[in-house]
C-alpha cells in the first residue's frame, strides 16, 4: 500500500512520517522540503497513494481534498475542517462499538482534536449509559504541551526558555478566553450533549502531553452514582480496548500526588482515565500525548483499521 503525508514538515506530519518511516509493510511516498509546495508533484503523489494524510491548516486541507480525484485514494485529515461533517467518519475507534467498522469502510476519516479526544473518552460512556444528563452544564480544563500550537507557539516557548524573557510564558498560558475553542463543536456532537461545555485550555511549559479534567457533582447526575459506580461504568465501557484504560481506584498511580502528571503517556498512543474525588464530587480525568493519541498516533491507528492491518502496528 502506498501512503503519502501532505504537510509532512509540520508538527503532526513529521510525527506521522517518522512513525511510518520505520515500517516495512507500506510504501511511503515523500516529497523533498524544497518541493513541498509544487502543485503538480503534490497532485501526482496524492493521486498515487492508497492513503493520503492531510496535515494542513483547515483551508489548505479543504483545497487539498479537491485535488484528489483518484476514487481509490482514501483520506485521513488531521485538521478541524471536516470533523463534524456527515460525509466524514470521526476517527475515534473507541467512541462506540461500531465506530471501527465505520472507519474501516470509510474513504474520508477526520482525526479528532487532542482536547476533544480526551474529553469525549472521559464523558461519552457516562452520557451513553444515561448517568450524565445531556443538559448537564459540563465544564472542563486542559493542561497541554506547547507543541499543540504548531511551529509558531513552539518557537515562542522555546525562545522564552532560552532567553528567560517572560516568566509568565515560561509557566502557563491560558487561552481561548472567549470560550470559543475550535474543538467545541466536535465535543458537543460526539458526546450528544445539548450544549457545548465550558472549556478553558492552558498551554504549559512542556513540549507534549495533556491531561483533561471534567468535574462532576453527583447530586446532579441521574441516580446520584457513587465514585465507584462511575468508575465501574467507565471500566466496563473500555474493557478490552488496546489504547484506552481506566486506572483502578486502588492503583498507586491514582493515589500518587503526581497522578495527573500530563507527560506520563508521552511517546505512546495510550489514553489513561482516572476517576478521583469522593461520592459527592468526582473528577474524571484523561491523560494522553497530544502528539500521540491526540494526533499522529490516532491517525495511524485509523490507517491501520482502514487497511485491515493490526491496529497496533507502528504504535
114 is catalytic: yes
For the cut 60, the answer to whether the pLDDT of residue 187 exceeds it is yes
- Do the beta carbons of residue 53 and residue 42 sit within 8 Å? no
At residue 260, the pLDDT reads 92
Higher-confidence position of 171 and 256 = 256
Grade residue 160 by pLDDT with cuts at 50, 70 and 90: low
Q: Please check whether the two domains, 2-112+295-306 and 114-290, share a CATH topology.
A: no
By the 10 Å C-beta count (0-12 exposed, 13-18 middle, 19+ buried), 216 is classed as buried
The residues spanned by each domain of the chain are 2-112+295-306, 114-290
Of 55, 114, 204, 302, catalytic: 114
- In the CATH hierarchy, which fold is given to the domain comprising 2-112+295-306? Rossmann fold (3.40.50)
**Helix intervals (H) in 150-213:** 150-163, 167-171, 184-191
Which of 204, 227, 237 has the alpha carbon at shortest distance from 96?
A: 237
Tens-place pLDDT, residues 27-60: 999 887 777 677 788 899 999 999 999 999 999 9
Q: Which CATH class is domain 114-290?
A: alpha beta
Query: Confidence class of residue 248 from pLDDT cuts 50, 70 and 90?
Result: very high
- The Cα–Cα gap between 245 and 53 comes to 27
Cell of 83: 470533523
- Grid coordinates representing 180 are 470559543
Amino acid at each position: 500500500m502506498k501512503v503519502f503525508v501532505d504537510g509532512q514538515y509540520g508538527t503532526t506530519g513529521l510525527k506521522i512520517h517518522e512513525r511510518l518511516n520505520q515500517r516495512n509493510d507500506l510504501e511511503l511516498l515523500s516529497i523533498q522540503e524544497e518541493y513541498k509546495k509544487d502543485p503538480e508533484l503534490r497532485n501526482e503523489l496524492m493521486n498515487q497513494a492508497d492513503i493520503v494524510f492531510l496535515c494542513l491548516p483547515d483551508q489548505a486541507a479543504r483545497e487539498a481534498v479537491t485535488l484528489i480525484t483518484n476514487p481509490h485514494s482514501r483520506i485521513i485529515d488531521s485538521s478541524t475542517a471536516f470533523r463534524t461533517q456527515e460525509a466524514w467518519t470521526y476517527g475515534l475507534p473507541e467512541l462506540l462499538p461500531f465506530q471501527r467498522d465505520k472507519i474501516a469502510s470509510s474513504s474520508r476519516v477526520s482525526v479528532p482534536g487532542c482536547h476533544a479526544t480526551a474529553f469525549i473518552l472521559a464523558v461519552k460512556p457516562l452520557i451513553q449509559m444515561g448517568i450524565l444528563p445531556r443538559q448537564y452544564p459540563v465544564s472542563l480544563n486542559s493542561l497541554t504541551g506547547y507543541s499543540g500550537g504548531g511551529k509558531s507557539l513552539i518557537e515562542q516557548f522555546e525562545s522564552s526558555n532560552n532567553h528567560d524573557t517572560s516568566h509568565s510564558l515560561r509557566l502557563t498560558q491560558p487561552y481561548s478566553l472567549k470560550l470559543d475553542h475550535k474543538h467545541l463543536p466536535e465535543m458537543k456532537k460526539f458526546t450528544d450533549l445539548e450544549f457545548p461545555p465550558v472549556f478553558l485550555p492552558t498551554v504549559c511549559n512542556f513540549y507534549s502531553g495533556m491531561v483533561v479534567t471534567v468535574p462532576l457533582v453527583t447530586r446532579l447526575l441521574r441516580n446520584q452514582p457513587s465514585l465507584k459506580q462511575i468508575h465501574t461504568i467507565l471500566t466496563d465501557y473500555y474493557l478490552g480496548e488496546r489504547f484506552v484504560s481506566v486506572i483502578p481506584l486502588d492503583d498507586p498511580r491514582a493515589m500518587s500526588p503526581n497522578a495527573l502528571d500530563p507527560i506520563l503517556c508521552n511517546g505512546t498512543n495510550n489514553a489513561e482515565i482516572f476517576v478521583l474525588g469522593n461520592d459527592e464530587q468526582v473528577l474524571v480525568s484523561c491523560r494522553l500525548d497530544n502528539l500521540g493519541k491526540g494526533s499522529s498516533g490516532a491517525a495511524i491507528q485509523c490507517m491501520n483499521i482502514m487497511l485491515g492491518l493490526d491496529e497496533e502496528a507502528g504504535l
